[in-house]
Amino acid sequence: MAVAQKISCAGLAPLLPRAPLSVVTGRGHQPFSALNQPRPSSLAEFKVDFHSPVGRGACSLVFAGKHVSTNFDVAIKAMSVALPVETGAIPVAEGIENENKIFNHLLSRGSHPNVVELIGCFGGTGLEAASLGLEAFKEEPVHYFVTELLEGGSLEDRIQHAPLEEEAARRVARSICEGLVSLHDQGIAHRDLKPGNVLFGAEGEATPKLIDFSHAGMMRGQERLAGELGTRGFVAPEVLAAQSYDLKCDVFSLGCLVHALLSGRPPRRHMRIGMMQQLPEGTSQEARHFLSALLNMDAKRPSSREVLQEPWLQE
């Protein structure tokens, strides 16, 4: 099926060491925005280890580094057709355009505690990158997207170890939803919400943060989105059907993510029945009703802001 070729695991795949959800890793720090620094505008402002990527995606490589004048730990995503990245569903040029649009919008508006802090974005030459140790074609431009470095591991790593207890899943789900609301309030659809795109900061489970805007889109007014973007198992049916859609595509993905928190995997899809929940026997009825609301197949779902008012998230 054509869709199977387009919908793939095209986001960032973190390579950071795995850490249990309850373990605090890394060190706490104040946000970059509190340091009263101008936005970085060139690679020369950073010290970067280009020999050991901490993440890899379908159209990007991610490296750890430091902002030289503040010693602030950062993650630098490099995107270019010049880089030896994985083959994925989203063209590199489209991923760069999406990241640029979202970065430029959010950098002027401040960050939310459950969205990775954005620090700056800028371009450079392949020649410059190659001179610093990045394997790149010298004649191609390279685009850099800088965020805070999150060293607490990914949600994907955590649930591969074991599903979460319901109370822990509820706390994480509420935090993720709050981050999603902050994006939706600005007309931003993430379009690749999944456990691999949620990382933890130094405070462990207290700070799940949404990352990766290579699939994101912006809606203005009554505009609708189009494009078959996302990761299999987490994509809304209207996206798979190549229909136009709105921000509620992320609400469906959130439902799939919460199902994965509770069971270790996204729900199954049945052509006639729809979404089939496969949850542990002790899962509460409130959690099941919550998932039923989010996993509605015909887009009659609550908005992300309405999701925050669902009884399961209030307990």
CATH number assigned to the domain comprising residue 269:
1.10.510.10
Q: Are 73 and 183 members of one domain?
A: no
Confidence (pLDDT) at 104: 95
Residue 34: partners with Cβ closer than 8 Å, 6 or more residues away: none
Q: Are 91 and 174 members of one domain?
A: no
Task: Determine, yes or no, domain membership for 91.
Answer: yes
φ, ψ for residue 166, nearest 5 deg = -60, -40
Q: Are 239 and 292 members of one domain?
A: yes
How far, in Å, CA of 285 to CA of 291, rounded? 10
Confidence (pLDDT) at 274: 73
Confidence (pLDDT) at 290: 98
| Cα–Cα nearest to 228, from 213, 215, 214, 210 | 215
Distances (CA, A) of 194 to 27, 37, 153, 154, 246: 25, 32, 14, 10, 18
Rounded percentage of the chain residues whose pLDDT exceeds 90: 66
| Cα–Cα nearest to 249, from 219, 220, 282 | 219
The residues that are catalytic are 192
Where does the pLDDT of residue 185 fall: very low under 50, low under 70, confident under 90, or very high at 90 and above? very high
Region of poorest pLDDT, from 179-193, 216-230, 267-281: 267-281
| Cα–Cα nearest to 50, from 151, 123, 140, 129 | 129
Q: Which domain holds residue 140?
A: 32-148
Confidence (pLDDT) at 133: 81
Confidence (pLDDT) at 172: 97
Instruction: Give the CATH number, domain containing residue 50.
Output: 3.30.200.20
Three-state DSSP at 34 gives helix
pTM for this structure?
0.88
* Beta carbons of 304 and 312 less than 8 angstroms apart: no
Confidence (pLDDT) at 101: 96
Confidence (pLDDT) at 92: 87
Where does the pLDDT of residue 201 fall: very low under 50, low under 70, confident under 90, or very high at 90 and above? confident
How far, in Å, CA of 255 to CA of 290, rounded? 8
Region of poorest pLDDT, from 128-137, 236-245, 276-285: 128-137
pLDDT tens track for 55-102: 887 678 899 999 999 999 999 999 988 776 655 567 888 999 999 999
Q: Are 86 and 168 members of one domain?
A: no
Chain centroid to CA 183: 12
Task: Determine, yes or no, domain membership for 2.
Answer: no
Q: Are 184 and 301 members of one domain?
A: yes
Confidence (pLDDT) at 275: 83
Where does the pLDDT of residue 130 fall: very low under 50, low under 70, confident under 90, or very high at 90 and above? confident
Structure-model confidence comparison of residues 150 and 134, the more confident one = 150
Residue range 143-164: mean pLDDT, rounded = 95
* Beta carbons of 179 and 188 less than 8 angstroms apart: no
Distances (CA, A) of 92 to 81, 96, 147: 6, 6, 19
Residue range 234-252: mean pLDDT, rounded = 94
Indicate the number of domains in the chain: 2
* Beta carbons of 264 and 273 less than 8 angstroms apart: no
How far, in Å, CA of 213 to CA of 77, rounded? 11
Task: Determine, yes or no, domain membership for 219.
Answer: yes
Task: Determine, yes or no, domain membership for 203.
Answer: yes
